[in-house]
Structure 1
Amino acid sequence: MIFEDLPTTPRSEELIDKAFSRASRSGRAKQGREAQESMVQTASNILSDNLENVVTAWPDFDEIDPFYRELAEAIVETHEYDTDADGVDALRQSLSEVTWASRQTKQIGDEAMGKMRKASDDLARKHRKQAFARMADVVEQVAPNLRLIGDARDALKTLPDIDPDEPTIVVAGYPNVGKSSFVNTVTRARHETAEYPFTTRGIGVGHFHGTDVPSELREGKRSAADDHVRYQIVDTPGLLDRPPEERNDIESQAVSALEHLADCVLVVVDASMDCGYPIDVQLELRDALKAQFDDVPVLTICNKIDRSRDVEADHYMSVTEDENVEGVLAAAVDAVGYEPELPFEQ
């Protein structure tokens, strides 16, 4: 995952303390003007290098997969900062400000070193103190930017491992219709659940392989390469479990990210209505999702058929009774239509 290696972002106070304490130690081994020069050089290098490292660790948002960009947009918008930009633009603005601070602290150090070369010991000490004050002022100016970058890093780093290049099935539908039970069954409960700042429950991401889908349930010809394909299946509580008009702006942004990720959407409905939602309301959500995910197949899956199957659906199953669960999974894989390239293919 592209954000997992982002280093911890230092706060301004930590960075200043680190730079000046190391500078003080470096000056102890020398005397007079040389001690002052060593302190300025050390502080300038530490501040400039650490600030630069904050920026260079981040990927270029113009080049990353749209899924990750939209996800970052949603996550950064969950934090409120005093900036004239929102989302990723606010993050980019902060990264730009930190780049400026990195260059400024280096320039201040270079200027002070130039003044100190022929200065007396007392004058060198004065130049060093002035340089320290200016460098500290620069770092304090970007304190809000470092905080924004750090908060974004902490949120993005903990996202579940989602690969936008893997074929992905997104599972949607109202609460209690059996979405999580289906995902648990087809992934044999081997999946990761992580909290997103814009959902009320953790999003679940599971995986299964082509070999988990019986050949006799698949449509058309199946190649040997199909068995080695890994599929992602995403359970989306708190996002795709209610109508679009009930989502806030941040949740809508997160759904936009899922639009880039999904290769197929399964909308699970409960015709028995034991879930607590009328079937016509469930189908209205299905229709809204079809309109939103108009570039990928959207299949209606009727679950709990041991209680009722009184609804028109693409496929019927009962997770609790283990009835046609594999058939639904096979239908989803067929709808994705992923064709792996063999190494010898041109």
Structure 2
Amino acid sequence: MPGGYPGYMIFEDLQTTPTASELLDTAFSRAARAGRAKHGVEAQQSMLQTASNVLSDNLEYVVRDWPDFETLDPFYYELADALVGVDELRQHLSEVSWAGRKTHELGREYIGRLPKGDADAAKKIRQQAFARMGSVMNEVAADLEAIGEARNTLSKLPDIDPEVPTIAVAGYPNVGKTAFVNSVTRAHNETAAYPFTTTGINVGHVERDHLTYQIVDTPGLLDRPENERNEIESQATSALAHVADLVLYFYDPSETCGYPLEDQQALQAEIEATVDAPMIVVCSKADLSEAIEADHYLTIPSETAGEAVGETPMEVLEAAIERLDVDIELPFER
């Protein structure tokens, strides 16, 4: 998989974005405390310096907290672009960065204007500076709000590591995908609803020969044709195309899933054209029908009332891992 930003929990670790009013309240209240500790012109200078530092430091931190989108793995870049629009978010961050520089400059500018020995005149200059800082913050209030909303949305993205070998499970609903993932991953799987799906993505993990594999079932994305997905879902599907190293495509030739075999075949062709990864075809519910040419035939007992036929889910998983053929170098190997 392509390299990317170090660590895959990149958006979950983003700090909550403060609002403009919250930053102003904090800056001015700290400035007031700083001013009470001094007298005369020195008090006004301390208030100016404190307010300027609080605003500029916090605004710059908001910007620095975000990763460089140019270094993101394509998986996360496309998901972020689908959900919040990367170009729009960059513009908001640019405006906030400007505000950080501007509040710093205002502090220096107005501190330089303070007269010596005239506390009343110094107070008026400090008040003018505070008014201008307030105006700057009002200019970026909407930007901070948009950044906060983007952070809240992206923090819900799936815990999928683009660096880990990944098996994507595809096929129409009710063909046995989720039962397969639950069966082979046992207690190591988790399900959560993400912003681009109406149902939960099922992410499982298995370990073989000191290497962890991800198994991802994506209801709402790889279980229906492109023309039935909305724009965000389509882009999320494109993102998954970057992270999938192999696709397990599940068929239910008995059609008890509720979808004709022809539709299932059309979806397979569509996914093959979208995802640049090898595909293994699995005939699920083989106790009911084997009327499809597949690489593997299996029955998941909890899914049907029939006798188990063909391979077990674990045997199919082992075949998928063997097909991936991931080479790893252990620390003691040379």
Pair 1:314 & 2:290 matched: no
Distance (whole Å) between structure 1 residues aligned to residue 117 and residue 145 of structure 2 = 38
Pair 1:48 & 2:56 matched: yes
Contact preservation (8 Å) 1:33, 1:116: yes
Q: What secondary structure sits across from 1:62 in the alignment?
A: helix
User: Root-mean-square deviation (CA), in Å?
Assistant: 1.5
Pairs within 5 Å for 1:280-291 = 280-291=262-273
Equivalent of residue 301 in structure 1, options 267, 282, 287: 282
1:117 Cα deviation after fit: 4.3
Pair 1:268 & 2:268 matched: no
Pairs within 5 Å for 1:240-251 = 240-251=222-233
Q: Percent identity at matched positions?
A: 60
Task: Tell me whether 164-173 or 335-344 shows the greater mean CA deviation.
Answer: 335-344
The equivalent of 2:143 in structure 1 is 145
The equivalent of 1:157 in structure 2 is 155
Pairs within 5 Å for 1:41-190 = 41-76=49-84, 87-118=85-116, 120-190=118-188
CA deviation map 1:189-223 (0-9, x unaligned): 4222222111111112110011xxxxxxxxxxxxx
Distance (whole Å) between structure 2 residues aligned to residue 117 and residue 5 of structure 1 = 45
Contact preservation (8 Å) 1:160, 1:192: no
Distance (whole Å) between structure 1 residues aligned to residue 232 and residue 299 of structure 2 = 34
Q: What secondary structure sits across from 1:51 in the alignment?
A: helix
CA separation of 1:118/1:328 partners in 2, compared to 1, >3 Å: closer, same or farther? same
Equivalent of residue 326 in structure 1, options 274, 292, 314: 314
Distance (whole Å) between structure 2 residues aligned to residue 14 and residue 129 of structure 1 = 19
Distance (whole Å) between structure 1 residues aligned to residue 74 and residue 117 of structure 2 = 55
The equivalent of 2:3 in structure 1 is none
Contact preservation (8 Å) 1:72, 1:88: yes
Q: Which amino acid aligns with 1:113?
A: I
- For normalisation by structure 2, the TM-score amounts to 0.92
1:344 Cα deviation after fit: 4.9
Equivalent of residue 29 in structure 2, options 21, 24, 27: 21
Pairs within 5 Å for 1:251-266 = 251-266=233-248
1:125 Cα deviation after fit: 1.1
Distance (whole Å) between structure 1 residues aligned to residue 159 and residue 249 of structure 2 = 23
1:119 Cα deviation after fit: 6.3
- For normalisation by structure 1, the TM-score amounts to 0.88
CA separation of 1:118/1:310 partners in 2, compared to 1, >3 Å: closer, same or farther? same
Gapped regions of structure 2 (runs ≥ 5): 1-8, 303-307
Pair 1:278 & 2:286 matched: no
Task: Tell me whether 94-103 or 119-128 shows the greater mean CA deviation.
Answer: 119-128
Count of matched residue pairs: 319
Gapped regions of structure 1 (runs ≥ 5): 77-86, 211-226
